[in-house]
Chain A
Amino acid sequence: MAQLTYRDAVAAGIAQEMRRDPNVVLLGEDVAAAGGVFKATVGLLDEFGAKRVKDTPISEQAIVGAAMGAAMTGLRPIVDLMFSDFFAVAWDIVSNQIAKTRYMTDGQVTLPLVIRSANGAGSRFGAQHSQSVENWSMMIPGLKVVAPAFPGDVKGMLAAAIRSDDPVMFFEQKSLYATKGEVPDGEHFIELGKANVLREGKDVTIAALALMVPRALKAADILKAEHGIDATVIDIRSLVPLDTQTILRETAKTGRLVTVEENPRLCGWGAEIASIVAEELFWDLDGPVVRVTTPHIPLAAANNLEDAQLPTPERIVDSVRKLVD
């Protein structure tokens, strides 16, 4: 078991799949010679060559469109979109074309492609380079949506995304790139659509994603040590497919659910989970489902302003205490 950074786990996952399948190719701005602006594709050009690892112009529609055309004709492209905010300039290709083509063509077209991007806040990049947009993807039928929190999950889920015959939106949380974690040696693969129960408690269930997972774990430590509240923490990992069975089961055990999401309040993924739990688990609940989110405002750049916007362990603790007490 090796210790890898989150960013090195990205490169390791891509390399693992490029070694096993010659049809896997990578394209994006600065991905080849520069190794990616987040240094998550370092070494891939050297190992796999310029035919398979390709730099592109700043043309997000052309990049994502090329991936779609390549996927429908036999390749398994991986797009590096750099910042997930840039989906806004390629959204026609993603939401109108990639997501719908299999359905519209009565199953004739298969689109095995992955679009990776650096998502989320915490790096002081301001409102157009810090958004959490996983919920944009979640609301479009036809896209699989994953957002790992740990290096081991990055490698295993990236492998699964690349092998998937469906388009997968792969969200890497940019403030996690430098974090380290254990990554199994040898070939590593984690099936998409499986939530991970990271700790089990009896009082409350906290469901989180990406950067919010370590914060939820920290909150659980504080709740236990300072308030005697015992929390279950679920890393959702995959929004589509969504492992509702794990969420429902773990919520039934504690009778309480708090979701912790980085995307802004309205129509964040926590709302969908709250709705499912309210419909299917209402009579087992001991209190309302509570959502902890970024407020419904754009993100600021200054340290203290951005910190005040994102859910923190302290905010999670406060929300849980109000629910449990």
Chain B
Amino acid sequence: MAGFTARNPQPSISTETRLKLYRTMLQCRVLEKRAYDLFMQNLIKGTSHLALGQEAIAAGFGTAMRSDDYTFCTYRGHNHTLVRGVGMTEILGELMGNSSGLMRGKGGSMHLTSVKHHMMGSYAIIGAHMTIANGAAWSAQYRGTEQVAVCFFGDGTTNIGAFHEALNFAVIWKLPVVFVCENNMYMEYTNIHDVTAVEHPAADRAAAYGLEPVLIDGNDVDVVYRTAHRALDLARKGGGPSLIEAETYRHGGHSRADPGKYRPDDEVKAWLAKDPLPRYRARLVDLGIAVGDIEKIEAETNAEIDRATETARNAPPPPLELADKDVWADGGSAWRN
């Protein structure tokens, strides 16, 4: 059985790393909250899928990944984009559809991509990107670069064919890819347990592909960070893919249109008590990290999101000529002579 538990020791986590993990989670949190506010002000159109409550997974992996490792994520991907080093302005600008945006408004919230950060895309059709992440991993293996592709997806993805095709494919080619299921307990508006044959939608499927089942607390950033290190290390050394199920909870509904009323109050309350941010803040204090250091990070992050918001909201609309640019590699859109 492939796997990483036995042969990879748990890395210790330095104070510096812990502060980075906290700062990264906080950046994700303020960004998503700001995205929500801008929606309420009608400055962001279309749809958006916020990952409030799921920050520990993005921060843990983003911090553990090498700068040239590849990220593939879903339409719930603002956090995963931010943690690879993309600026808040570029993300908010893309959500607002203006020229400050990461793709100058050509993609929108569901397609955030920054190739220079090796953030290879947010994918809006469930499952597709698992197969595409395999391709990036294959390319890294072929070129011998020791890069790893990390692919994030939701619990709902485990019931689509591409999930199963991609896992089998990754195993038989022994690809350097890490599949991370962010199990937030709901596929859109429906409890995942009502529509899935097994209790743990990803972990319980691992054995079918000869993989070790890995089920972790996705709201504990230290756990995520350590797990990420092990899986990345295994993949980098040629040990093949991993499938990790990280249990978490989204604080809001599925998308902008969904208030999430189908979720029982006591369930929401129980998960809010496991909010990864206050939980980690308390741990940092327990570990003896000065509250002043933590508050400094909080003040800097709040200032950062305010600055980014101002820059993004004051940017002009994208130039109209972008509408028919870059269908083809020559920059144009001509299909005839």
Contact = CB atoms under 8 A, between A and B. Distances in A.
A97 B124 CA distance: 9
Given A62-B165, A106-B106, A241 B329 contact: no
Interface of A: 25, 51, 54, 56-57, 59, 61-75, 77, 92-93, 96-97, 101-110, 112, 141-142, 164-166, 193, 240-245, 276
Contacts of A59: 165, 168-169
Nearest to A244: B336
B26 interface: no
Given A97-B132, A242-B335, A69 B168 contact: no
Contacts of B139: 69-70, 73-75
Given A62-B166, A64-B131, A240-B335, A97 B123 contact: yes
B143 interface: yes
A71 B115 CA distance: 13
A292 B229 CA distance: 62
Contacts of B169: 56-57, 59, 62-63, 66
B107 A106 contact: yes
15 contacts: A57-B169, A59-B165, A61-B131, A62-B162, A62-B165, A69-B136, A73-B136, A73-B140, A103-B326, A104-B106, A104-B111, A105-B121, A107-B325, A164-B329, A165-B329
Contacts of A165: 329-330
A77 B132 CA distance: 13
B59 interface: no
B120 interface: yes
The 8 A-B residue pairs with the shortest CB-CB distance in the complex, in nearest-first order:
A69-B135, A65-B131, A165-B329, A107-B326, A62-B165, A59-B165, A66-B135, A106-B103
Interface string B79-114: 000000000000000000000001110110001011
A106 B326 contact: yes
Contacts of A66: 131-132, 134-135, 138, 169
Given A51-B142, A96-B125, A97-B128, A102 B327 contact: yes
B327 A103 contact: yes
B206 interface: no
Given A68-B135, A73-B136, A141-B333, 8 more contacts: A57-B169, A66-B135, A96-B128, A105-B103, A106-B103, A106-B104, A166-B328, A241-B335
B156 to A, nearest CB: 15
B113 A104 contact: yes
Contacts of B130: 65
Nearest to A77: B135
B143 A74 contact: yes
Contact of B132 (A68, A110, A240): A68
Contacts of B337: 193, 241-245
B58 interface: no
Contacts of A104: 103, 106-107, 111, 113
A25 B107 CA distance: 30
B335 A25 contact: no
Contacts of B136: 69-70, 72-73
Contacts of B328: 102, 142, 166
Nearest to A193: B337
A140 B169 CA distance: 27
B152 interface: no
B86 to A, nearest CB: 12
Nearest to A54: B173
B142 A25 contact: yes
A23 to B, nearest CB: 8
A108 B103 contact: yes
A93 B325 CA distance: 22
B322 interface: yes
Nearest to B177: A69
B336 A93 contact: no
Contacts of A240: 335
Given A62-B168, A93-B128, A241-B336, A69 B134 contact: yes
B149 interface: yes
A261 to B, nearest CB: 17
B106 A101 contact: no
Given A61-B128, A92-B128, A105 B113 contact: yes
Interface string B312-337: 00000000001001111111011111
Contacts of B121: 101, 105, 109
Contacts of B140: 73
B165 A109 contact: no
